[in-house]
């Protein structure tokens, strides 16, 4: 699935948060959206799925303009969104959380079942009947991804999936995301964790203060130390 973002602006009240953000995500590609805390990564992803009310610009999914489509329709069109704060339904069980995400299979995207997801995230299998509010942070992160995958998306946006997780868990997570990539999913990965981004990203976009400041391949990004020093170092 192809995602194209053209000159996206977003506002919060009178404050402008995003300034003409443009991004491209080709089929089967992983684009890492990097930026410091507060740079505008989450706002970008939220604006794409229509969770930021005041916005302008154009968002095109496989040739279809979805800029002002209702959030649910965007999801049903095959664009999965995994929010940064996980937003697990804590009052529902793990299995019920997955059920909420369930959508009919779609052609051109891997079809997931609860069972195949438990295979991808083995930890979740035993937790299936537990209230989701009671499982650990890492498990919640797995669950939020699994829940979105239940919708059989063709493209996936992940917002800082590694945030607050132990290195071991991050590694597990990286493996799972790689699997998804191998299955042909297009992935837009917002991250501060360069390690994870390097491991799975094909291309890099860097955002700073609501503006895209760099776009290039992972190799170009890696070869020029000044880029990450200028825009990412704290």
Ligand X SMILES: Nc1ncnc2c1ncn2[C@@H]1O[C@H](COP(=O)(O)OP(=O)(O)O)[C@@H](O)[C@H]1O
Q: Is 13 in the site for another protein (CB under 8 A)?
A: yes
Strands in 3-117 per DSSP E: 3-12, 15-25, 30-34, 55-61, 64-65, 79-82
Residue 209 CB-density burial (10 A; 0-12 exposed, 13-18 middle, 19+ buried)? middle
Q: How many CA atoms lie within 13 A of 81 on its CB side?
A: 22
Q: How far is the CB of 50 from another protein (least distance, A)?
A: 8
Nearer to ligand X, 39 or 74 (CB): 39
Beta bridge mates, 60: 4, 65
Q: Which of residues 21-60 bind Mg ion (CB under 5 A)?
A: 42
Q: Is 148 in the site for Mg ion (CB under 5 A)?
A: no
Q: Is 39 in the site for ligand X (CB under 6 A)?
A: yes
Size of the site for another protein (CB under 8 A): 30
Phi, psi of 98 (to 5 degrees): -65, -40
Q: Which of 38, 56, 70, 137 is in the footprint of another protein by CB under 8 A? A: 70
Q: 91 touches which of ligand X, another protein, Mg ion, none (CB within 5 to 8 A by kind)?
A: another protein
According to DSSP, residue 10 is labeled E
Q: Is 86 in the site for ligand X (CB under 6 A)?
A: no
Q: 234 touches which of Mg ion, ligand X, another protein, none (CB within 5 to 8 A by kind)?
A: none
Tell which residue, 2, 53, 46, has the closest CA to residue 28. Answer: 2
- List strands edge to edge, sheet with 55-61: 15-25, 3-12, 55-61, 64-65
Phi, psi of 27 (to 5 degrees): -60, 130
Q: 39 touches which of another protein, ligand X, Mg ion, none (CB within 5 to 8 A by kind)?
A: ligand X
Residues that bind another protein (CB under 8 A): 12-14, 49, 51, 53-54, 70-72, 75-76, 81, 83, 87, 89-92, 96-97, 99-103, 147-148, 150-151
Residues that bind Mg ion (CB under 5 A): 42, 84
């Amino acid at each position: 699935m192809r995602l194209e973002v053209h000159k996206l602006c977003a506002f919060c009240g009178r404050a402008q948060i995003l300034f003409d953000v443009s991004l491209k995500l080709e089929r089967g590609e992983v684009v890492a959206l990097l930026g410091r805390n507060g740079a505008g990564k989450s706002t970008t992803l939220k604006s794409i799925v229509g969770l930021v009310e005041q916005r302008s610009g154009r968002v095109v999914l496989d040739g279809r303009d979805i800029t002002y489509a209702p959030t649910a329709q965007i999801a049903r069109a095959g664009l999965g969104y995994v929010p940064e704060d996980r937003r697990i339904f804590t009052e529902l069980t793990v299995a019920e959380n997955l059920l909420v995400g369930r959508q009919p299979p779609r052609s051109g995207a891997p079809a997931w079942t609860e069972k195949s997801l438990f295979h991808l995230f083995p930890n979740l299998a035993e937790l299936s009947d537990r209230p989701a509010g009671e499982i650990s942070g890492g498990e919640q992160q797995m669950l939020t991804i699994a829940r979105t995958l239940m919708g059989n998306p063709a493209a996936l946006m992940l917002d800082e999936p590694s945030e607050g997780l132990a290195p071991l868990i991050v590694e597990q997570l990286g493996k799972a995301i790689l699997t998804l990539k191998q299955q042909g999913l297009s992935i837009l990965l917002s991250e501060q964790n360069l390690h994870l981004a390097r491991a799975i990203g094909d291309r890099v976009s860097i955002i700073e203060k609501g503006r895209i400041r760099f776009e290039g391949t992972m190799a170009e990004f890696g070869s020029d130390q000044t880029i990450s020093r200028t825009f990412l170092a704290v």
